[in-house]
Amino acid sequence: MGILEVRDVNKSFGGLKALNKVELDVEEGSVHAIIGPNGAGKSTFLNCLVGLLIPDSGSVNFDGNSLLGIKPHEINQAGVSRVFQTPEIFSDLSLLDNVVIPTLASRDGAFKLNGWKRADQDSEIIGRAEHMLEDVGLIDKRNMHAGSLSRGDKRRLELAMCLVQNPKLLLLDEPTAGMSRADTNNTIDLLKRIGERGITKVIIEHDMHVVFSLADKVSVMAQGTVIAEGTPEGIKGDPRVQEAYLGGAHL
């Protein structure tokens, strides 16, 4: 069953057509990778899914409901969570507080600053946040300032902040960008474990090692449109894909 159905989505910036008749079907429980050369429109597309950009036309349906015209926080509450290219964490707060905030938001429906200040007495919230940190391998660092973490750990923390909200759909924008090979492999393992919980994932990724390790299906974007779709093995030999990548990354 398609949990995410995108039809004929278009988005222009002035005279530049960043998205041109984009179509996408994401199966529930699957890992769907979106690849493509720089400037293909991948981030613009993701921004349209989470309400940060509004498409000029087209439809985006998630779990049977339209996401268009809905505010980013409402899309988040509907079960769509996004991990950004640059981790969106609170650098001055501890790891535990970073996870407590979205834990409270998911329980109470919205984030309340006063609620967060009292959260240290809320054993249910603290328990859930600690359990999540344990899950992503960061529990030993729970009292450290988030700003002092390595890049790989920051990505892991951001993932914990998303997962604690029990999303149905997780959108990951280059989850391993800038990571060492060891950190990349740890992240692949972590994402595989998350997969066991049945969370659907859409991953934008340049690293083909990550794509081939995780993806059930791959959509290839170039010049704002989906030019090919299939299994990782299937798209690897597709001449349209090879052409789109000429002079750029290699499959």
**Count of residues touching ligand ATP (by CB under 6 A):** 11
Q: Indicate the residue among 78 and 251 with the shorter CB distance to ligand ATP.
A: 251
167 counts as binding ligand ATP under rule CB under 6 A: no
Whole-number Å distance between alpha carbons of 211 and 229: 13
248 counts as binding ligand ATP under rule CB under 6 A: no
Sign of CA dihedral 44, 46, 50, 54: positive
Q: Indicate the residue among 43 and 187 with the shorter CB distance to ligand ATP.
A: 43
165 counts as binding ligand ATP under rule CB under 6 A: no
Please state, in angstroms and as integers, the Cα–Cα distance from residue 203 to each residue in 9, 80, 108, 116, 210, following that order.
Answer: 19, 13, 28, 31, 10
Instruction: Judge contact between 209 and 184, C-beta under 8 A.
Output: yes
Q: Rounded to the nearest whole angstrom, what is the least distance from the CB of residue 222 to ligand ATP in the complex?
A: 9
13 counts as binding ligand ATP under rule CB under 6 A: yes
Tokens (6 digits) for 119: 């959260």
Q: For residue 140, what is the DSSP state?
A: G
16 counts as binding ligand ATP under rule CB under 6 A: yes
Tokens (6 digits) for 32: 């769907």
Q: Indicate the residue among 44 and 165 with the shorter CB distance to ligand ATP.
A: 44
Q: Indicate the residue among 65 and 86 with the shorter CB distance to ligand ATP.
A: 86
15 counts as binding ligand ATP under rule CB under 6 A: no
| Other Cβ atoms closer than 10 A to 126 | 17
Q: Under the rule (CB under 6 A), what is the footprint of ligand ATP?
A: 13, 16, 18, 36, 38-44
